[in-house]
Amino acid sequence: MVKGLRREFSNWSRKWELTDMVVWVTGASSGIGEELAYQLSKLGVSLVLSARRVHELERIDILVNNGGVSQRSLCMDTSLDVYRKLIELNYLGTVSLTKCVLPYMIERKQGKIVTVNSLLGIIAAPLSSGYCASKHALRDTFLCCKVQTITESDEAECYMDDLLIFSNGHHSLPVEQLGKRQAGR
């Protein structure tokens, strides 16, 4: 079945130009989904992979937490719903994914979690109160987790790394536009 999939996929890929496309493969932990992910990776697509079997999380060696949205509005004009969305996505989403894989990494004594964060998690900026709060919460939570996960063996293992990104904001999507495509992209 997998050989047939490879043959069919190569015919299909000739019909469609897939380079630079983003493809989400569900059921990517085994079988057709896993093979599809391998074949798509050879074509230069950006992959989003997911699976429903929790035990497959044991196989993850590196988790890169990079999801998030920005916000630009005056504090007094920002609705509570916007603050909730920012905290749910930028903070709780990242913490949730980390909590799923970290126990397996600790059990195997192997793995790395990288959390991409913003300078605005350290300093405040105008028009970004909710974003700053969500990134500050993320930064401090992961600093605490980093300290807590260092083993007491002769050779300390650290499962957490943080990556601070400096951005001019051109690639940020305001939370009010979640699910909407930006013009020109």
Q: In terms of domains, do 168 and 138 share one?
A: yes
CATH of the domain at 103: 3.40.50.720
Q: What is the pLDDT at residue 6?
A: 55
Which amino acid type is present at position 93? G
Q: Are 86 and 133 in contact (CB under 8 A)?
A: yes
Q: In terms of domains, do 41 and 76 share one?
A: no
Q: Across all residues in the chain, what is the average pLDDT?
A: 75
Q: What is the pLDDT at residue 109?
A: 82
Q: In terms of domains, do 69 and 94 share one?
A: yes
Q: In terms of domains, do 47 and 67 share one?
A: no
Kindly give the pairing relationship between strand 22-26 and strand 46-50: parallel
Q: In terms of domains, do 102 and 128 share one?
A: yes
Cite the active site residues: 131
- Global pTM value: 0.65
Q: Percent of the chain, pLDDT > 70?
A: 69
Give the structural domain span for 32: 1-52
Q: In terms of domains, do 74 and 137 share one?
A: yes
- 139 in helix, strand or coil? helix
Task: Using the predicted structure, report yes or no on whether residue 101 has a pLDDT greater than 60.
Answer: yes
The domain boundary residue, chosen from 37, 52, 67: 52
Q: In terms of domains, do 18 and 105 share one?
A: no
Which residue, 57, 64, 8, is CA-closest to 28?
Answer: 57
Q: What is the pLDDT at residue 133?
A: 96
Which residue, 17, 116, 123, is CA-closest to 62?
Answer: 116
Q: Percent of the chain, pLDDT > 90?
A: 22
Q: In terms of domains, do 12 and 92 share one?
A: no
Q: In terms of domains, do 68 and 26 share one?
A: no
Q: In terms of domains, do 62 and 46 share one?
A: no
Task: Using the predicted structure, report yes or no on whether residue 106 has a pLDDT greater than 70.
Answer: yes
Q: In terms of domains, do 26 and 102 share one?
A: no
Mean pLDDT over 120-143 rounds to 92
Distance between CA atoms of 100 and 58, rounded to whole angstroms? 9
Structural domain total, the chain: 2
Segment 21-76, tens digit of pLDDT: 778 787 777 787 888 888 888 887 888 887 777 676 677 777 878 778 889 999 99
Segment 144-174, tens digit of pLDDT: 888 887 754 434 456 666 655 544 443 443 4
Distance between CA atoms of 148 and 177, rounded to whole angstroms? 36
